[in-house]
A and B are shown apart, each in its own frame.
Chain A
Amino acid sequence: MPEKVSGSFRDPSGFMFKHEDKLYRQVNQKYHEEYDLLMSSGLYEQLTKSKTLVTHKEVDLKLAPLPDIAYKIIQPEMVDFISYPYEWCFNQLNDAAILTLSIARRALEFGMSLKDASAYNIQFQNGRPMFIDTLSFEKYEEGLPWVAYKQFCQHFLAPLALMAKTDIRLSKLLRLHIDGIPLDLASILLPASTKFNFGLATHIHAHAKSQQRYADKQVSQEEVKARISKSSMVGLLDSLLSTVRSLNVKTIQTEWTDYYQDNNYTPASFEAKRQLVKSFIEKVEPKEVWDLGGNTGEFSRTASDMNIPTVCFDIDPGAVQQNYDLVKKNKEKFMLPLVMDLTNPSPDLGWHNSERESMQDRGPVDLVMALALIHHLAISNNLPLINVANYLAELGEYLIVEFVPKSDSQVKRLLASRVDIFPEYTEHGFEAAFDQLFEILEKAPVLGSERSLYLMKHR
Chain B
Amino acid sequence: MISNFINLAINGASRQYLDPGSGSMLIQIIIAAVLGAGVAIRVFWKNIKAFFTGKKASDVDTDDPTLVLDEDPTAVPLESTTTKK
Interface residues of A (CB under 8 A from B): 10-13, 42, 45-47, 49-50, 52, 95, 98-99, 102-103, 105-106, 109-111, 115-116, 128-129, 138, 141, 143-151, 153, 202-203, 206-207, 210-215, 217-226, 228-229, 231-236, 238-239
B69 contacts partner chain A, Cβ-Cβ < 8 Å? yes
B24 contacts partner chain A, Cβ-Cβ < 8 Å? yes
What are 10 A-B interface contacts by the 8 Å CB criterion?
A11-B17, A12-B17, A109-B84, A149-B24, A150-B21, A210-B27, A220-B4, A223-B11, A231-B39, A234-B39
- Per-residue interface assignment for chain B, residues 1 to 18, with 1 indicating a CB less than 8 Å from any chain A CB and 0 otherwise: 111111111111101111
Contact present for B65 and A236 (CB under 8 Å): no
Docked complex: B41-85 residues within 8 A CB-CB of A: 43, 61, 63-69, 72, 74-76, 81-82, 84
Contact present for A50 and B17 (CB under 8 Å): no
Give the distance to chain B from A431, nearest Cβ to Cβ, in Å: 49
Within the complex, which residue of A52, A144, A219 is in contact with B66, where a contact is CB–CB below 8 Å? Answer: A52
Give the distance to chain A from B75, nearest Cβ to Cβ, in Å: 7
Within the complex, which residue of B8, B11, B39, B67 is in contact with A232, where a contact is CB–CB below 8 Å? Answer: B39
Within the complex, which residue of A12, A98, A211 is in contact with B65, where a contact is CB–CB below 8 Å? Answer: A98
Chain A residue nearest to B4 in the complex (CB)? A224
Bin the interface of chain B by size: 35 or more
Chain A residue nearest to B82 in the complex (CB)? A109
Within the complex, which residue of B3, B13, B65 is in contact with A218, where a contact is CB–CB below 8 Å? Answer: B3
- CA–CA, A129 and B15, complex, Å: 28
Q: Which residues of A contact B15 (CB under 8 A)?
A: 138
- CA–CA, A151 and B16, complex, Å: 13
- CA–CA, A220 and B3, complex, Å: 6
Question: Which residue, of A12, A52, A128, has the highest number of chain B Cβ atoms within 10 A?
Answer: A52
- CA–CA, A10 and B35, complex, Å: 32
Q: Which residues of A contact B22 (CB under 8 A)?
A: 214-215, 217, 219
Give the distance to chain A from B26, nearest Cβ to Cβ, in Å: 6
Contact present for B64 and A102 (CB under 8 Å): yes
Contact present for A236 and B64 (CB under 8 Å): no
- CA–CA, A181 and B61, complex, Å: 29
Contact present for B23 and A49 (CB under 8 Å): no
Interface residues of B (CB under 8 A from A): 1-13, 15-18, 20-29, 31-40, 43, 61, 63-69, 72, 74-76, 81-82, 84
Chain B residue nearest to A128 in the complex (CB)? B65
Asked if A226 meets B8 with Cβ closer than 8 Å, knowing A10-B17, A220-B3, the reply is: yes
Chain A residue nearest to B25 in the complex (CB)? A145
- CA–CA, A235 and B63, complex, Å: 17
Q: Which residues of B contact A11 (CB under 8 A)?
A: 17
Asked if A50 meets B8 with Cβ closer than 8 Å, knowing A110-B84, A115-B18, A146-B28, the reply is: no
- CA–CA, A144 and B43, complex, Å: 22
Within the complex, which residue of B6, B39, B68 is in contact with A50, where a contact is CB–CB below 8 Å? Answer: B68
Q: Which residues of A contact B18 (CB under 8 A)?
A: 115-116, 147-148, 150-151
Give the distance to chain B from A437, nearest Cβ to Cβ, in Å: 44
Contact present for B20 and A110 (CB under 8 Å): no
Contact present for A47 and B66 (CB under 8 Å): yes
Chain B residue nearest to A233 in the complex (CB)? B32
Asked if A147 meets B13 with Cβ closer than 8 Å, knowing A202-B31, A231-B43, the reply is: yes
Give the distance to chain A from B48, nearest Cβ to Cβ, in Å: 17
Chain B residue nearest to A42 in the complex (CB)? B81
Contact present for B27 and A206 (CB under 8 Å): yes
- CA–CA, A234 and B21, complex, Å: 21
Chain A residue nearest to B11 in the complex (CB)? A223
Chain B residue nearest to A222 in the complex (CB)? B4
Contact present for B40 and A231 (CB under 8 Å): yes
- CA–CA, A135 and B75, complex, Å: 24
Contact present for B29 and A219 (CB under 8 Å): no
Asked if A150 meets B5 with Cβ closer than 8 Å, knowing A50-B68, A231-B39, the reply is: no
Q: Which residues of A contact B16 (CB under 8 A)?
A: 115, 147
Within the complex, which residue of B20, B35, B72, B76 is in contact with A145, where a contact is CB–CB below 8 Å? Answer: B20
